[in-house]
Amino acid sequence: MSRPEPRTQAACPAVFVAAPASGQGKTTVTSALARMLRNQGKVVRVFKTGPDYLDPQVLAQASGQPVEPLDLWMAGENDCRQRLFEAACEADLILIEGAMGLFDGEPSSADLAARFGVPMVIVMDVKGMAQTAAALVSGIAGFRDDVTIAGLIANACGSQRHRELIEAALPDAVPLLAAVPRNADMALPERHLGLVQADEIRDDLENRFEAGAQALMAEGLADKLLALPPVTFEACRTPEAKPPRGLEGQVIGVARDAAFSFIYEANLDVLKRMGADIRFFSPVHDCELPDCDALWLPGGYPELYGPQLSANEPMKAAIQAFFEADKPILAECGGLLYCLETLTDYDDATHTMLGLLPGSGWMRGRRGCQGMQTAELPEGPVRGHAHHRSVSEGTPEPIAHGRRQRHPAPGEAIYRQRRLTATYLHLFFPNNPEAIARLLGPVRPEPSKAAPNLESESCN
Tens digits of residue pLDDT in 366-375: 555 678 999 9
pLDDT given for residue 387 in this prediction? 84
pLDDT given for residue 457 in this prediction? 36
> Is residue 451 pLDDT above 80, yes or no?
no
Higher-scoring residue by pLDDT: 293, 50: 293
> Is residue 191 pLDDT above 50, yes or no?
no
CB 1 within 8 A of CB 213: no
Higher-scoring residue by pLDDT: 195, 20: 20
Residue in 395, 333, 396, 392 with CA at minimum distance from that of residue 362: 392
> H/E/C letters for each residue in the chain?
CCCCCCCCEEEECEEEEECCCCCCCHHHHHHHHHHHHHHCCCCEEEEEECCCCHHHHHHHHHHCCCCEEECCCCCCHHHHHHHHHHHHCCCCEEEEECCCCCCCCCCCHHHHHHHHCCCEEEEEECCCCCHHHHHHHHHHHCCCCCCCEEEEEEEEECCHHHHHHHHHHCCCCCCEEEEEECCCCCCCCEECCEECCHHHCHHHHHHHHHHHHHHHHCCCHHHHHHCCCCEEEECCCCCCCCCCCCCCCCEEEEECCCCEEECCHHHHHHHHHCCCEEEEECCCCCCCCCCCCEEEECEECHHHHHHHHHHCHHHHHHHHHHHHCCCCEEEECHHHHHHCCEEECCCCCEEECCCCCCCEEEECCCCCEEEEEEEEECCEEEEEEEEECEEEECCCCCCEEEEECCCCCEEEEEEEECCEEEECCEECHHHCHHHHHHHHCCCCCCCCCCCCCCCCCCCC
Q: Which of 66-75, 114-123, 277-286 has the lowest mean pLDDT?
A: 66-75
- DSSP-derived pairing of the beta strands 120-125 and 149-157: parallel
pLDDT given for residue 408 in this prediction? 84
> Is residue 452 pLDDT above 60, yes or no?
no
Higher-scoring residue by pLDDT: 183, 335: 335
* Confidence tier at 447 by pLDDT (50, 70, 90): very low
Mean pLDDT of 277-301: 97
Mean pLDDT of 217-245: 85
* Confidence tier at 245 by pLDDT (50, 70, 90): confident
- Give, in order, the Cα–Cα distances in Å from 36 to each of 43, 123, 152: 11, 17, 18
pLDDT given for residue 203 in this prediction? 74
In this structure, what is the dihedral angle of CA atoms 394, 395, 396, 402, given to the nearest 10 degrees?
-140
Strands, sheet with 93-97, edge to edge from the N-terminal-most edge strand: 68-70, 44-49, 93-97, 14-18, 120-125, 149-157, 176-181
pLDDT given for residue 371 in this prediction? 85
- Give, in order, the Cα–Cα distances in Å from 23 to each of 54, 169, 450: 15, 23, 39
What does the mean pLDDT of the chain come to?
Answer: 90
pLDDT given for residue 456 in this prediction? 32
Higher-scoring residue by pLDDT: 27, 195: 27
* Confidence tier at 460 by pLDDT (50, 70, 90): very low
Q: Domain 251-440 falls in which CATH fold?
A: Rossmann fold (3.40.50)
* Confidence tier at 186 by pLDDT (50, 70, 90): confident
> Is residue 446 pLDDT above 80, yes or no?
no
pLDDT > 70: what percent of the chain? 89
Query: In the chain, which residues fall in CATH 3.40.50.880?
Result: 251-440
pLDDT given for residue 57 in this prediction? 87
* Confidence tier at 455 by pLDDT (50, 70, 90): very low
Q: Residues with catalytic annotation?
A: 333
pLDDT given for residue 54 in this prediction? 80
Query: In the chain, which residues fall in CATH 3.40.50.300?
Result: 9-234
pLDDT given for residue 405 in this prediction? 85
pLDDT given for residue 448 in this prediction? 45
Q: Which of 36-45, 152-161, 232-241, 383-392 has the lowest mean pLDDT?
A: 232-241
> Is residue 409 pLDDT above 80, yes or no?
yes
Q: Domain 9-234 falls in which CATH fold?
A: Rossmann fold (3.40.50)
Tens digits of residue pLDDT in 95-145: 999 999 999 988 999 999 999 999 999 999 999 999 999 999 999 999 999
